């Protein structure tokens, strides 16, 4: 990944909370990249987030996540964001693997975890319309966030055999 642009003025909430524009004009959230948490439970399925209409690709289903902070690992970012957005208790999950989409100027890391203790997700901010455990076979029936839709088949293949 190339060096991030210089830090913004100190009055911004967090220097990672910014759009990055690619060579083709397409925009991606997170100056230092972004990360999301694919929380998988062997019987409940995966935890999906119905994204608020005002958000990027609003109205679609994806996984909780967001911008990484400066020097924050992808796993730390995914766990932080999923706790903020969905009430995922970090102590109830075990990291299985990470999957990275690296565009050279921006990257997104999906952190896949096994949920050891099933929990009820909580809509904890305005970024979610709904949170739901979805059976693996039912994921494709939902209108998925384009990035998640593209990565889902490969991620599903890598989930441990039931």
- Tell me the per-residue pLDDT of 14-60, one tens digit each, with 9 for 90 and over: 778 889 999 999 999 999 999 999 999 999 999 999 988 888 888 99
pLDDT for 76 beyond 50: yes
pLDDT score, position 21: 93
Catalogue the E-assigned strands of the chain: 19-21, 27-29, 34-41, 45-51, 61-62, 65-67, 93-102, 107-115, 128-134
CA pair distance 51, 53, nearest whole angstrom? 6
Tokens standing for residue 88: 């995922």
pLDDT at 124: 84
Mean predicted confidence (pLDDT) in 125-153 = 94
> What is the pLDDT at residue 11?
44
**pLDDT higher than threshold 60 for residue 149:** yes
Q: What's the DSSP call for residue 142?
A: S
Under 8 Å between Cβ of 97 and 73: no
Evaluate if residue 85 carries a pLDDT over 50: yes
Hey, what domains does the chain have and what are their CATH numbers?
A: 19-155 (3.90.79.10)
Q: Can you give the pTM of this predicted structure?
A: 0.87
- Helix residue spans in the chain (DSSP H): 74-86, 146-158
| pLDDT for the residue 61 | 96
Q: Stretch 66-72: mean pLDDT, rounded?
A: 93
State how far the Cα of 130 lies from the Cα of 156, in Å rounded to an integer.
22
């Amino acid at each position: 990944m190339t060096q991030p642009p210089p830090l913004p003025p100190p009055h911004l909430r967090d220097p990672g909370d910014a759009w990055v524009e690619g060579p083709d004009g397409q925009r991606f959230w997170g100056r230092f990249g972004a990360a999301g948490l694919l929380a998988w439970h062997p019987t409940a399925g995966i935890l999906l987030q119905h994204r608020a209409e005002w958000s990027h690709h609003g109205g679609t289903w994806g996984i909780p996540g967001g911008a990484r902070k400066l020097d924050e690992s992808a796993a730390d970012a995914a766990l932080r964001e999923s706790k903020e957005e969905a009430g995922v208790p970090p102590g109830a999950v075990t990291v299985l693997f990470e999957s990275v989409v690296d565009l050279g100027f921006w990257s997104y890391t999906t952190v896949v975890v096994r949920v050891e203790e099933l929990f009820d997700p909580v809509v904890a901010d305005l970024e979610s319309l709904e949170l739901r455990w979805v059976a693996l076979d039912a994921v494709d029936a939902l209108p998925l966030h384009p990035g998640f839709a593209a990565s889902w088949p490969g991620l599903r293949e890598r989930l441990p055999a039931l």
